[in-house]
Amino acid sequence: MTREHLGYSPGYADHKVNKNKLISSCNFILERELSGYRFISGTLSPISDKTEVAEIEGAINLAEKVGFYGASEHIKTAIDLLGKKPKPDFRNAIKEAISAVESVSKQVAGSNSKGLEGALSELCKHTKIHGALRSGFSKLYGYSSDEDGIRHAILDQPNVGFAEAKYMIVSCSAFVNFLIAKADSAGILKT
C-alpha cells in the first residue's frame, strides 16, 4: 500500500492521517484476511457482515443527519460495549441499542409520548404500518423492557450473550432507520 492509500495527505507531516481513509484501509485488510472484525463508526467491533455494518453505520449517520444525536450516541455506545475488551458487556449493549429506538420514538412522537407505542400510534395517524409489523416492533421492544427484561434490576443473571447483543444492535439500528424514514415520508419528522 502506498502512503496516499493509507490516508496521508501530501504536504503534511508524516503523522497526519486521514481517519476515514485509515479506517477504510483497515476494514479492507480485515475483510481480505477474513477477520470477524470491522471498524464501525471508529470502533473495532466483532460484527463483520457488510449488510449489518451498513445498517448500523446508516442508523448512526441518518440519526445525526436529522439531529437525533441521542439515538446516534446510544448506537455508538452499544458498539463500544459489544467490542469492549477483555470482556464485552452484552447486557448494556442491548440496553443502549433499545435506548436508541426509544430516543427516536420520543423525538418522532414528542417528548410526552408513551414511548414506542406513542411513536407508532403517531406514525399510524399519518402512514400505514401493517398490524403484524407493528406488533413485532412492540414485542421486540418488550424483550428488553418487561419485568424480567434486560433493562430492569438483575434478579437472576439473564442469559444474554454475543448473539443476542449483535441481533439487538443490528435490529435496533434497522428500527431507527425505519422510524426516521417513515416519519420523514409522513411529514412528521421533528428535528
DSSP string covering 50-99, please?
HHHHHHHHHHHHHHHHTT-HHHHHHHHHHHHHHT-SSS--HHHHHHHHHH
The SS3 assignment for 146 reads: coil
Percent of the chain with pLDDT over 70: 82
**Residue 188 pLDDT:** 83
Alpha carbons 100 and 153: distance in angstroms, whole number: 20
Query: Taking residues 100-127, what's their average pLDDT?
Result: 79
pLDDT in tens, 61-79: 999 999 999 999 999 999 9
Alpha carbons 187 and 21: distance in angstroms, whole number: 36
Whether the CB-CB separation of 191 and 66 falls below 8 Å is answered with yes
The full length of the chain comes to 191
Least confident of 67-71, 77-81, 98-102, 106-110: 106-110
**139 falls in which pLDDT band (50, 70, 90)?**
confident
Is 111 a residue whose pLDDT tops 70? no
Integer CA distances (angstroms), 120 to 137, 138, 145, in order: 9, 9, 17
Mean pLDDT of the chain: 84
**1 falls in which pLDDT band (50, 70, 90)?**
very low
Amino acid at residue number 93: A
Alpha carbons 77 and 41: distance in angstroms, whole number: 10
pTM, entire model: 0.81
Is 13 a residue whose pLDDT tops 60? no
Is 19 a residue whose pLDDT tops 80? yes
Percent of the chain with pLDDT over 90: 49
Give burial (CB, 10 Å; 0-12/13-18/19+) of 34: exposed
Least confident of 48-52, 83-87, 128-132, 172-176: 128-132
**Residue 74 pLDDT:** 97
**Residue 155 pLDDT:** 43
Quote the cell numbers at residue 114.
408513551
**47 falls in which pLDDT band (50, 70, 90)?**
very high
Integer CA distances (angstroms), 83 to 11, 38, 43, 77, 133, in order: 35, 10, 8, 10, 30
